[in-house]
Amino acid sequence: MTPGSLVLLHAPNTGSAAWGDLPETLRSYGLDVIAPDVAEGAGSRYVARASLIIAATAPATPLVLAAHGAAGPLLPAVALAQRAAHRAVGGYLFVDADLPRPAHAHDHDDGAEHVPSPPDWPDAPCAYLRTHADRSASPGHDRAVREARLRGWPVAEHEPPAAVAQSLSELLTTL
């Protein structure tokens, strides 16, 4: 798929600088890339701030939402906010990210980093990219890769010397 805009969401309590030169490299591939810098906040606060920044950029649709780390579980909520603003979401990319979890009756939105996903999620194709840099990361990412494969999502494992941007853009075409 060719997105209208690719939105790169960094993990909460980091910043858009965590993406390094990835946004500029993806732009050089001809993609419209938005990398909101959500300065602080987690959970609902992160979702609200990211959604306001995305809206201020007047993005082209459909959006592809890409998350890193702990931003992964927030993608369904960010997508819900985009759809509420009449912006179509065409896909989801998880880059070394945690996956959303279903909502449970005992869940409360207390500002925690994990916001339950709506029962109809995913509402668009999903894919997972595991980078070389993630190989020594927590076992949670191993679980996320296994779960993504079990869900039938395309999974790419980035291997140098290819650029992460190249791996991500190739995975984007599978959505």
Ranges 15-19, 41-45, 87-91, 121-125: which has the least confidence: 41-45
pLDDT digits (tens, 9 = 90+) for 38-97: 987 788 899 999 999 999 999 999 999 999 999 999 999 999 999 999 999 999 999 999
Residue 106 is predicted with a pLDDT of 47
> What is the token pair recorded at 171?
């995975």
Among 11, 2, 1, 4, residue whose Cα is nearest residue 95: 11
Per-residue pLDDT, 39: 80
Determine the pLDDT at residue 139: 61
Q: Which of 81, 95, 88 is nearest to 4 (CA)?
A: 88
Determine if the peptide bond prior to 161 is cis (ω within 30°). Answer: yes
Cα separation of 13 and 49, whole Å? 12
Is 62 in contact with 107 (CB distance < 8 Å)? no
β pairing state of 5-9 and 155-157 = unpaired
pTM for the full model? 0.87
Residues forming beta bridges with residue 6, ordered by sequence position: 33, 64
Note the pLDDT of residue 110: 43
Q: What distance in Å separates the CA atoms of residue 10 and residue 28, rounded to the nearest whole number? A: 20
Q: What is the pLDDT of residue 166?
A: 87
The pLDDT of residue 112 is: 45
DSSP label at residue 73: G
C-beta separation of 154 from 112 below 8 A: no
Mean of all residue pLDDT scores within the chain: 86
Amino acid 52 reads L
Query: How sure is the predictor about 111, in pLDDT bands with cuts at 50, 70 and 90?
Result: very low
